[in-house]
Chain A
């Protein structure tokens, strides 16, 4: 048996290469955790690639970047990134991230999670984090259904689309996420599909470098559940659909970007404005109100004794 194995490993006696080629993104990935759990043709991997590209382009120090995910397929994103990464509870990625971002103002925090996690169970948190203009970037991967649990309908499922808990088609009105984010106070709002890799990465770079609450929705294929139930074809067919149906309209009024079942998808950068973020505003406001009595919050360095290592 062992002879056969050794024969099979180098049948032509080709010497092992001295150095194996490294993937250009390896530095940012927990390669020891690969392969990942996502299905073939899932859009989440594409989003991660775009995110890592954006991190590289942004020149942010990866040590100071933290990623938080909730629960679901997209909720696993944090687990594959070689950054400080946190896999929290269902719907609570944003408040967990608020604790990190407000707790240590030096951190740049990104939340990568799904539409069900961020918009249904976590809906209350996204509107309030946007209202406060917390310095964080939200990447919402929208696959129109709850995939991890088997393809149930959610708050983004287009009307008439079939889902396991909408077996005769969905009849609720879905959320228009860019409009929701903008009206809640987001200062940067974009939407792309999983096909728009370079544009998506560009928007992510802008969002990472922009202080305040930024929101990027990525329409992503779920060929195992959503597409199969709705007979939308293969992963390639979905890419063709994105190619044919996506219309780039930068700066369009977000009220106009609803998504109907298999209809056109308006993509682009819709909102990009400047507004003082939570920590800065608090600092400015309190120093004006309290004058000399105000002691600025400095994260882990806020108190001289309690957080230091024992000498």
Chain B
């Protein structure tokens, strides 16, 4: 299905990543945002607050991030596409209800413009320290999808992908920006509405009285309904059956939770978006995401000038992790170099998947600024030696 033209600001713009994310979300069909101000993500909500009244959307500033996350789940079940926007401390507050969204298989998008942490940390400076929280932040077992854009253009393009993936897999999608990408301003091309592909919600078309909100252990996911349709839906954060009714025992837990995990885990290759360059014959591959993937390119240039065969792999989707691809790569290279603006998060997954088949070298950065490309170069040289 094509995008609704009312929400698409077709043309060439000069936007920062935050504003581009707002435009992408509107183009994707999002018409509900519940949020709470927090640096460096506030501009996303601010632009939406300006734009929504002109495109038939609803912006509501909630009393905190707990409320924001709960509200978008309610809004989604009322029949709209909904999102919230935050940064580190607010992301922490959203974790319990992120688990509810995963449990209720509620499509929605949570934008996290990452800053330095922990705690209040560096409110105005960049970080990539929430990557493991994105994966594991809420209690219990579940899977989500996390996307990491590296430019304002991608903040637009991938916001649409985020909403589409959320609908397709009935899962919350975490849009993991960082302060650098959020605040850098570049040219952003917004295509005409008819060139934007939208995944509509899969609505139940059967009769009243026979609707089941969930399907476990099946290839296709249950369709959704919206409150007010007369299906008398019941859903609960408790472990439940396919009717949505609570069942508190180990057998029900096995069915319910295994389904939440497997609907993503069994489809990693269909979901994953990775970009590879000059992998063929490479001795070293640099694996990176977000703003760090742009900084790494400079280091790769230096390395190639020195005659080192180096390729790059960019994680556009960081979660689910492209486990199979990393396992294959590890067999063919001497080292995988992982720069990230934290003291070692995604590198743990790379190392696990490499399984000792090659060296895994972390290039850490505590946050506040991006890497010096020379530090990444040093790691590439170490890997090639």
Contacts and interface: CB of A to CB of B under 8 A. Distances in A.
Interface in B117-137: none
A300 B56 contact: no
B372 interface: no
A275 interface: no
Contacts of B234: 30, 78-79, 84-87
Q: How large is the interface on A (under 10, 10 to 19, 20 to 34, 35 or more residues)?
A: 35 or more
Interface size class on chain B is 35 or more
Contacts of A308: 1, 200
Given A84-B227, A306-B200, A103 B75 contact: yes
Interface stretch (B66-74, B144-152, B251-259): B66-74
B7 A89 contact: no
A103 B74 contact: yes
Interface string B50-94: 001111111010111011101111111111111000000000000
B70 A103 contact: no
Contact of A89 (B6, B53, B68, B237): B237
Contact of A84 (B3, B67, B232, B236): B232
Contacts, number: 200
A96 B245 contact: no
A306 B64 CA distance: 28
Interface string B230-254: 1111111110000001100000000
Interface in A55-88: 62-64, 66, 68, 78-79, 82-88
Contacts of B66: 91-92, 95
Contacts of A304: 4, 6
A8 interface: no
B67 A98 contact: yes
A92 to B, nearest CB: 4
Interface string A268-299: 00000000000000000010001001111111
A307 B67 CA distance: 24
A295 B56 CA distance: 5
A125 B28 CA distance: 29
B203 interface: yes
Contacts of A286: 53
A98 B60 contact: yes
Interface in A74-130: 78-79, 82-89, 91-92, 94-104, 106-107, 124-125, 128
Interface of B: 1-4, 6-7, 28-29, 31-32, 34, 52-58, 60, 62-64, 66-68, 70-82, 96-97, 100, 198, 200-201, 203, 205, 226-238, 245-246
Closest 4 CB pairs of A and B: A99-B74, A306-B29, A103-B78, A300-B79
